[in-house]
Amino acid sequence: MISAPHLSPAMVAGDLLFLSGQLAFGPDGQIEGDVTHQTALCLERLENVLHQHGLDRSAILKTSVWLADRSAFAAFNEAYSAFFGEWRPARSTVISGLAIEGALVEIDAVASLQSTST
């Protein structure tokens, strides 16, 4: 089990909500699964934070993604696209080692506290 990180799940600045990076921790506090499963879980965790602020996934304006393995990009992108559907937030994707053993993807986001449009 990992000790609690020194961060806030989200911070408000003006009309923006900045969401901390999410990893694919399951209910048991462990990270498991392939990149598809981990991507879906990271996005669900982001959406849970959004719900705490009365928002849904359509409020997300920008995501930043860290992938541990370049060869996992296609599987990640498919899971990411399935989550967002027609909504296409701006996105940066970086291939990088992640701080937690077993983590294949980490995703953070910036959301609007106001209604969004394309």
Tell me the average confidence (pLDDT) per consecutive run of 10 residues in the chain, 118 residues long: 71 96 91 96 96 96 98 98 97 95 97 75
What is the architecture, at CATH level 2, of domain 12-112? 2-Layer Sandwich (3.30)
Taken in order 17, 21, 24, 26, is the CA torsion positive or negative? negative
Q: How far apart (Å, rounded) are the C-alpha atoms in residues 105 and 97?
A: 9
pLDDT at 118: 47
Q: What is the pLDDT of residue 27?
A: 87
What does the domain layout of the chain look like in residue ranges?
12-112
Please, which residues bridge with residue 62 across strands? Answer: 90, 110
| pTM listed for this prediction | 0.91
